[in-house]
Structure 1
Amino acid sequence: MAKRNNNEAVQEKLKLVPAQPGCYIYKDEHGSVLYVGKAILLRNRVRSYFQSSAKHGPRIDRLVRKVCDIEWIVVDTEIEALVLECNLIKQHRPPFNVRMRDDKSYPYITVTDEKFPRVMFTRRVRKDKAKYFGPYPSAYAVRDTLQLLHKTFPLIPCGKSWTGEPVQRPCLYYHLGRCLGPCAGLSDRAEYGKILDKVERFLGGKEEMMVEDLKKEMEAAAEELDFEKAAKIRDQLNAIQTVLSRQKVLNNDQIDQDVIAVVKDDRGAAIQMLYIRGGKLIGQRQFVLDGASEAQPSEAVGEFVKQYYADSPDVPREILLPMEIEERGIVQTWLRQRKGSAVTVEVPQTGEKARLVDMAAANAEQALAQFAQELEQKEVWAEEAMGQLQDSLGLDMPPIRIEGYDISNIQGTAPVGSMVVTENGEAAKDEYRRFKIRYHPESPNDFAMMHEVLTRRLKAYVDGDEKFQKLPDLIMVDGGKGQLAAALKARDDLGLTVPMVGLAKRHELIYVPVEPAGELLSDIREMEAALAAPPPADTPYSYDRPAPKTYGFREVELPLTSPGLMLLRKLRDEAHRFALTYHRKLRDKKFGGSSLDEIPGVGPRRKRLLLRTFGSVEGIRRATADELAAVPTMTKALAVKVKDFLAEL
């Protein structure tokens, strides 16, 4: 029997829930989302959780006791509710929902939506008009496929976007017959479209149809005595048939299928998907589900199907499930609307389709075992790393949460700071923060910049900012004594006691602050007492204010392969990457956007041609005036003007 929720606010909200389709959101006392669900009739579904006679499992019982507020969103249809539920789960990632977790970024091949589409490698599926094929099991598989496509078909090899207008002379690939030359205005869109059609059929698993078409083209070319064209088509056929010989044929129906299986135990749940296109197995993918240890397998499968296909660029003709799910009918209707044609979601019991589900289940079992083993190894390594840092740095407790900081700038230009976080040895990317340096925009003073970043971060904690509400067990700054001293000054100004260390790249030494002892301490005690009180809240920021305390530093040298040092090095490298990425973004925005736009006579087309020719503003700056003048639409006088303008930046 469920334990009744006695929260008065919840009981009042239950009286107001409408009898309409929609989504409901349960929140805790802090306003955090606990659970998101959907219903045809919100009133009936929501009230069923809180009836004293309801029989729930332990997970739902805990949920009901924690609920302190209820919100709902009304929609018109159950399909709209299903889509909204998927989006809300993705946005809030509630702890009581079964959530799809994919630790890997799988590669795809995309055909862009342009006048002359490019066929490219990508790891990000965008909601645009481009076509996506995959996912592929590895980046090597994608690059191998792209290499075959570029050798077989005259696609754009340079990766640049062209409109078909003549903007430059054709390159060597055109003369070798490996490109149709859209950059020189030599390509016919209709001819290029026929090539893209063959490529898409190949990527979509329709190779046999393409092979038959190529054979007819080869025979026609031979009959017309165009043996050079026939030989080229023959080479294409040989390359494609080599790929076909590697693919495993699972059925002769040539139907596109996704086969889903689940394996669940007290460690959690793992989903295995097999991708079958045109009757051939072209790839597989594993997922681990969060929050599924206490959920029923059917619930885990149902939640996975909704969350996966909400973002999947491809919906096959058939989806095979290992068991019945509660909303199979509505899911099938939703997928048909997404695909725009027939989709069948079924649970096979016997025959070839059931065999496919069993094969996927066997792979899921292996995936779950491998995940559990990797998780155990990570936990052991993290415990060893944190324990080593506690002992070597003299910390009171293992540093569960460590924050790393770095500064990135070029001679004071576009200075930024980064904050990255690890918790239990794993990157907590949701906690990453970045800072645009405010007070030293032109001064290349890394110490002052580090002081500002730590001041802003720690002051945000003191002020109760939700984005900085957690205080770390250890702060690591990228640098030596100077950067660490600046960070310590920021901490002491605010009256905090967070442990801090610096990690110098040279010799990988860890610098640990040490307060002077004995006579030296007594000599500076009076000064510290005068400066120990934090400055008033309305005091303007200043790096020139004297430091509240004086420190010495001891050096800690750990073996390069030790877990503790490896954890700090990993954190430092991530802080450097995160800061550099933000710095480049600001720098490119400053120089790649506004600087060229400000040059009189350089409009959108000239800017596009300059960047396409030289790659970046820096490349334009390095080019000579004669090289700039050689770009189509440019003149010698304008080239000199561009050189002079960029030289002043």
Structure 2
Amino acid sequence: MFDFEYQLKMLPDKPGVYLMKNSLGEVIYVGKAKVLKNRVRQYFQNSSNHSAKVVAMVKNIAEFEYIVTDSESEALILECNLIKKYRPRYNILLKDDKHYPFIKITTNEDFPRVFTTRNYVKDGNKYFGPYTDVSVVYETLELIRKIFPLRNCKRNIVENGEVTRPCLNYHIGMCKAPCAGLISKEEYRKIVQDVINLLSARDTEVLKKLKKDMETAAENLEFEKAAALRDKINAVEKIQERQKIITGSFEDEDYIDIYSDEKDTCAQVFFMRQGKVVGREHFILEDTAGEEPGEIISQIIKEFYGGTPFIPSHIYIHDIVDQDLLEEWLSTKKGSKVSLKVPKRGEKVQFLEMVKKNAKMTLEQFKQKLLMDKEIQGTVLKELAELLELDELPHRIESYDISNIQGFDSVGSMIVFEEGKAKNSDYRRFKIKSVIGANDYDSMREILERRFRHGLEEVKNIQERKLEFSNGKFSVFPDLILMDGGRGQVNVALEVLEELGINIPVAGMVKDDRHKTRGLIYNNIELPIKPNSKVMQLITRIQDEVHRFAITYHRTLRDKRTLHSVLDEIPNIGEKRRIALLKKFGSVENIKNATIEELLETPSIDRRAAESIKSYFTSQRQKNG
């Protein structure tokens, strides 16, 4: 047993990070402290000053550990890394851990390309973004390609280099064919500069130039050319409409504010680039009652900028704690000065007020949708309970499936629906350990035994320590089990539950000859369900989801095995190079089709290794005819 009194006395009078753990040894909270002794002790003192969330967390703390650092700034960095690693349930976590798209211009090439990327790298090229709406990025790129005849091929084209035949894009007027030497580097760069101007809020210069060229063409009676220029002007104006000018400042800025009701919080982040709003993002943070706004915003900054590759020079917020510390951390990550500012007057304050209004509206819409969903799902669950003659509503439904190909890489999956909605955080995957070959019944028996035996052990542990049942991975049992299959799968589940002394109703989701969900088998009787009813829609969703989850896991294992075996056969390619290649190209097929020059752009790949890769795949093609 963990001796709290002794361990609290042993806490050092130094900065560091502390990790709170539950009875299962899982990290449920990570925090940093200027003085560990003072900060950690606060959790175990008078709870009247604690928020409801902290009170709930403290009840589930079975032990804690700490790591001493040399400074508070080191503690902040370590805290961010550990939160990212453990994703503790009581930390503020942004559920949408995204890599936003950027528009990249390869200005370090003689003849630059323009394309979208999610990897922001300090490589000397130009990046614009991040954009939160991917459709806007692709539409902008499409319009740019219509206006500016730039290449979109991946060839390594250099000035005065080898001349090749131009592709179709040249013949339809969408490229000036630098590959064929039909445009100089200087002339090509002028077109690239127009694209940069367009994306850098200097689009008035581009419009002036296009309008002047159109007027000149019209005066010279070149009406087709004038019409083409008119279309380009319309395209530029369409891009302008996508980006609203807000300030006279042409710097990169983010604006963050929150709105909290009596229970939850919505955070809004507005991205401003070159004086224009290019996108916004929101995050719903549940159970934040009693937490200070400055604390919430500080946690959002750590979580959001700890995962995004781009950090602007200025971040405007309404309130914050640890301002100097966070500025130091952000500046280190960015490699240049980052300012966190709390404006007191002027347009920055007004803009933050607009951000907060958006946060309020988003939270209200979220709550309204939640109420509507709850009402609809409550009706569906009531109909399902009546259909199966259950004593209580099936608030939690678990479903299981097995996936394999001819007995190889057998895997099992468990999905969870709560209140009629998928609860992804409770999904579980199982690698089949005891069954050889394609035996779905025995495989299902194995995963059900593992799931419920583990659950019983957790329940016993939780009851002994008087913790919450939601504390474990398997401690919460379902109100209903839906098997992906008919009588055979249902009987396997019932046998396992009976052996373990667990009473949970089990039904089977059966499909027709066209592989569409037909209905449920319960107590050895197939129950008729109206095809277009809400109950049938819910059952179909559950069956599709459990099948998708099982197939995805199986495919991942199969692909890992395949990738590993193929790349391991190539001479001069070890583990480090294999990982680097997969990170850069994403698949063996892309590596196979890459040029020597593209392979050389991969970290740790030298010419010898690149030639070895090309030689291997060339010989494979020859063998396969």
TM-score of the aligned structures, taking structure 2 as reference length:
0.74
- The gaps in structure 2 that reach 5 residues or longer are 459-471, 572-580, 595-613
SS in 2 for 1:101: coil
Aligned residue number for residue 627 of structure 1 = none
Say if 1:189 and 1:637 are closer, same or farther in 2 by CA, change over 3 A: same
Which residue of the partner structure matches residue 641 of structure 1?
Answer: 623
1:9 aligns with 2:6: no
Q: How does 1:173-572 map to 2 (within 5 A)?
A: 173-178=169-174, 202-203=198-199, 205-208=200-203, 211=206, 239-323=235-319, 325-410=320-405, 414-436=409-431, 443=438, 448-462=439-453, 464=457, 468-485=474-491, 487-488=493-494, 496-506=502-512, 508-514=517-523, 553-572=524-543
Alpha-carbon distance change, 194 to 383 in structure 1, aligned in 2, over 3 angstroms: farther
Question: For the residues of structure 2 that align with 1:610 and 1:56, how far apart are their CA atoms?
Answer: 55
Query: Of the candidates 78, 83, 88, which is equivalent to residue 89 of structure 1?
Result: 83
Could you report, residue by residue, the CA deviation over 1:158-191 in whole angstroms, capped at 9, with x for unpaired residues? 7xx656699x986523543535779999999999
Decide whether the 8 Å contact of 1:25 with 1:35 is kept in 2: yes
Cα distance in 1 between the residues matched to 2:23 and 2:617: 67
For 1:180 and 1:590, the matched residues in 2 are separated by 44
Partners of 1:185 and 1:595 lie apart in 2 by 39
Helix, strand or coil: the match of 2:306? helix
Give the Cα–Cα distance (whole angstroms) in 2 for the partners of residues 408 and 189 of structure 1: 55
Determine the C-alpha separation between the residues in 2 that align with 1:184 and 1:479.
61
CA contact (8 A) 1:38 1:85 kept: yes
Distance across 2 between alignment mates of 1:163 and 1:377: 55
Return the offset for 1:149. Answer: 3.1
Shift of residue 41 of structure 1? 2.2
User: Taking every aligned residue pair, what percent have the same amino acid on both sides?
Assistant: 37
Q: 1:109 to 1:452 in 2, by over 3 A?
A: same
Q: For residue 295 of structure 1, report the CA deviation from its aligned partner.
A: 0.9
Q: 1:634, 1:12 → 2: CA distance?
A: 62
TM-aligned CA deviation for residue 574 of structure 1: 1.3
**Aligned-CA RMSD value:** 4.8
Q: CA deviation at 1:73?
A: 1.5
Quick one: distance in 1 between partners of 2:139 and 2:212?
26
1:611 to 1:503, Cα distance in 2 relative to 1, 3 A: farther
Q: 2:253 is aligned with what amino acid? A: Q
Mean alpha-carbon deviation: is it higher for 50-59 or for 348-357?
50-59
Alpha-carbon offset, residue 373 of structure 1: 0.8
* Structure-2 change in CA distance of 1:192 and 1:269 (3 Å): farther
Provide the rounded CA distance (Å) in 2 between the counterparts of 1:201 and 1:85: 40
CA-CA distance at 1:304 after TM superposition: 1.4
- Give secondary structure in 2 for the equivalent of 1:19: coil
Count matched residues. Answer: 564
Deviation string 1:405-429 (CA, Å, 9 cap, x unpaired) is: 3344455565544322222333222
**Partners of 1:508 and 1:557 within 8 A in 2:** no
Deviations 1:287-343 (A, max 9, x none): 1123312212222222212221212222222221123x2211221222222222332
User: Structure 1, residues 340-386: CA drift from partner, whole Å, max 9, x if none?
Assistant: 23322111121111111111111111111011112222222333333
Query: Which secondary structure does the structure 1 equivalent of 2:624 belong to?
Result: helix
1:95-114 superposed matches below 5 A = 95-97=89-91, 99-102=92-95, 108-109=101-102, 111=104
User: Which 10-residue stretch deviates more, 72-81 or 108-117?
Assistant: 108-117
Structure 2 counterpart of 1:151, which letter? K
TM-aligned CA distance change 1:70 to 1:142, over 3 Å: same
Q: TM-score, normalised by structure 1?
A: 0.72
Match of 1:620 in 2: none
| CA separation of 1:156 and 1:475: change in aligned 2, threshold 3 A | farther
141, 147, 168: which one aligns with 1:172: 168
1:48–1:54 Cα contact (<8 Å) kept: no
Shift of 1:266: 0.8
List aligned pairs for 1:15-164, cutoff 5 A: 15-50=9-44, 55-56=49-50, 59-60=53-54, 63=57, 67-97=61-91, 99-102=92-95, 108-109=101-102, 111=104, 133-153=128-148, 157=152
The one-letter code matched in structure 1 to 2:13 is A
Q: Distance in 2 between matches of 1:595 and 1:270?
A: 47
Distance 1:598 1:14, change over 3 A: closer
The DSSP-based 3-state class of the residue aligned with 1:260 is strand
Evaluate the alpha carbon distance shift between residue 120 and residue 436 of structure 1 in structure 2; reply closer, same or farther with a 3 A threshold: farther
Give the residue type in structure 2 aligned to 1:456.
Answer: I
With over 3 angstroms needed to count, the CA separation of the structure-2 counterparts of 1:440 and 1:117, relative to structure 1, is farther
Say whether the 8 Å CA contact 1:250–1:280 is kept in structure 2: yes
* Cα pair 2:246 2:275 within 8 Å, conserved: yes
Moved more, 263-272 or 561-570: 561-570
CA deviations on 1:243-262 (whole Å, 9 max, x unpaired) are 22553221212232212221
Contact 1:83 1:310 in 2 (8 A): no
Give 1:153 deviation, angstroms: 4.3
3-state SS of paired residue (2:3):
helix
Offset of 1:585 from its aligned partner? 3.3
Structure 1 position 112, deviation (Å): 9.5
Any idea what SS the aligned residue of 1:315 has?
A: coil
Partner-residue secondary structure (3-state), 2:365? helix
Q: Taking structure 1 as reference, are residues 214 and 354 closer, same or farther at Cα in structure 2, changes over 3 Å only?
A: same
Cα 1:241–1:329, aligned 2, differ >3 Å: closer, same or farther? Answer: same
